[in-house]
Amino acid sequence: MLRLYRSLLALYPAPYRREYADEMLSVLAQVEGNAAHATAWSKISLRTREATGLLLGALVEHARYITGLPVAPVLFPRRSRMRSEFRFPKATPILMTVILVAVIMAIEKAKAISDSLPPSSTPIPPIQPEHFSTVTTFLVILALAFSSAVIGWLVTFTLRRSGVQRFSDVHTGANEVRKS
């Protein structure tokens, strides 16, 4: 099967092949190795999916290489694209949290201003203090995020899908000691 994958990789543009071919073949070999004990239908499904992904990937890369433009994602689903240049910077969650806090504070200030205005056109009294604290709101959101993360971890741990559990099942040649 790796011979078929190698021939499908030959359809990719040469610069792309030079950069990614070895890594892609390594991943495909691992996928084939993991499917060694699978049912015949699972193997056929896996090989069809991988071959289709390689064909679509080659088409996308040729279109990108010829036009120099990103190919429309409507034509090619995300699953078949093997690019990693669209990741968020590591500071994104922090900046998004700061923006969330600023928006919550602005909403609370606007509420305080609207609550302090009388229904008539009389002079405006002093603005009433906030009834709901921004810090409290932020702590509630943080507690909800933390509790959902803990629940998610518990589910993956219970289903034995966590990385630590999968890593413990890996057998390498260094772990096997031969007795003479």
What pLDDT band is residue 89 in, cutting at 50, 70 and 90?
confident
What are the structure tokens assigned to 47, written together?
């090989």
Asked if pLDDT for residue 72 goes beyond 80, the answer is no
pLDDT surpasses 80 at 80: no
pLDDT in tens, 103-119: 999 998 888 888 787 67
Quick count: other Cβ atoms within 10 Å of Cβ 32?
16
Closest by CA to 170, choosing from 28, 33, 22, is 33
| pLDDT of 74 higher than 60 | no
pTM, entire model = 0.40
Q: What is the mean pLDDT of the chain?
A: 77
Higher pLDDT, 170 or 58: 58
Answer whether residue 19 shows pLDDT above 50: yes
Give the model's pLDDT for residue 144.
92
Q: Which residues contact 124 (CB under 8 A, 6 or more apart)?
A: 116, 117, 118
